[in-house]
Amino acid sequence: MASFLLIPYGNPSRRDDGVAFHIARRLIERLGLEVRDPEEVPSYDVGDGLTIMGLHQLAPELAQDLAEADVVVFIDAHVPGAGWDDVHWEAIEGELRPSMVTHQLKPQSVLALCQALYQRTPSTYVLSVLGTDFDFGGQLSSQAQALVEPAVERLMALLDFHAQLGDAQ
């Protein structure tokens, strides 16, 4: 069985910016597990090779965690105007561009760091949900809330696919 690392990240106090955590918690429920604390950023060692690591922002040392996984999914929100589907799914490759400040690292950059430092590249995807309300607060907009379940479906499909692949092998 491949090892999966799911990285939901965002600011849980900025409404739709924290949609990834809602997606992760719903996934936990769909897998038949209990959500420990709905107020907390979810981090779970689910078992069967699946790890969920909730983060506020991405940082360089995450490269080491990527190097130890076979499949990685970054889960985030995107803003209107990004030109993406409401539930955006994309396979990404490593690409590191200069950062303006410390607080800004893209999934592609972490993946590039992983390649450069550890000479290993997991299959890496971005799952991003359209956000419309990034004001202060813990509740999602109704639009983002409606996209949680489709996003979870996308993750379930990925997990099912790899489970079947494992069975076939």
Partner 1 sequence: MGQKLTIDPVTRIEGHARVTIRVDDDGQVEQAYMHVDQFRGFEKFSEGRMYYEMPVITPRICGICPVSHHLASAKAADRIAGVVPPRPAQLLRELLHMGQIIQSHSLHFFHLASPDLLLGFDADPAIRNVVGLIEADPALAVKAVKLRKYGQEIIRRLSGRRIHMHWAVPGGVSAPLASEERDWILSQADEMKGYIQDGIAVAKDWLAANQDTVQAFANFKSNYLGMNRDGALELYEGPVRMVDSNGDFVVEFDACDYLDHISERVEDWSYLKFPYYKAMGWPDGVYRVAPLGRLNVADRIDTPLANEELKEWKALADGPVEPSLYYHYARLIEDLHALERAVELCEDPDILSLDIRETSFEITGEGVGCIEAPRGTLWHHYWTDEDGVLTKVNLIVATGNNNWAMSKSVDMVAKTFVDPANLTEGMLNRVEAAIRCYDPCLSCSTHALGQMPLSVSVEDGSGQVLATRTRD
**What are the residues binding partner 1 (CB under 8 A)?**
9-14, 16-17, 40-41, 43, 54-57, 59-61, 63-64, 76-79, 81-84, 96-104, 106, 109, 112-113, 116-117, 126, 128, 131, 134-137
Q: Answer whether 126's CB lies under 8 Å from 5's CB.
A: no
Cα 81 to Cα 23, 104, 105, 130, distances in angstroms: 22, 20, 20, 10
Residue 109 CB, shortest distance to partner 1, in Å, is: 8
User: Containing H/E element for 63?
Assistant: helix 62-67
Of the two residues 75 and 162, which places its CB atom closer to partner 1 in the complex? 75
Residue 77 CB, shortest distance to partner 1, in Å, is: 4
Residue 169 CB, shortest distance to partner 1, in Å, is: 33
Residue 162 CB, shortest distance to partner 1, in Å, is: 24
Rounded Cα gap, residues 5 and 138, in angstroms: 25
Of the two residues 99 and 164, which places its CB atom closer to partner 1 in the complex? 99
Cα 75 to Cα 4, 36, 65, 100, 130, distances in angstroms: 13, 20, 16, 22, 11
> What token pair was written down for 109?
């950059």
- 131 closest CA partner among 24, 42, 25, 20: 20
Residue 126 CB, shortest distance to partner 1, in Å, is: 7
Q: Is 44 left (phi over 0), alpha (psi -120 to 50) or beta?
A: beta
Of the two residues 43 and 123, which places its CB atom closer to partner 1 in the complex? 43
Of the two residues 30 and 106, which places its CB atom closer to partner 1 in the complex? 106
Of the two residues 129 and 162, which places its CB atom closer to partner 1 in the complex? 129
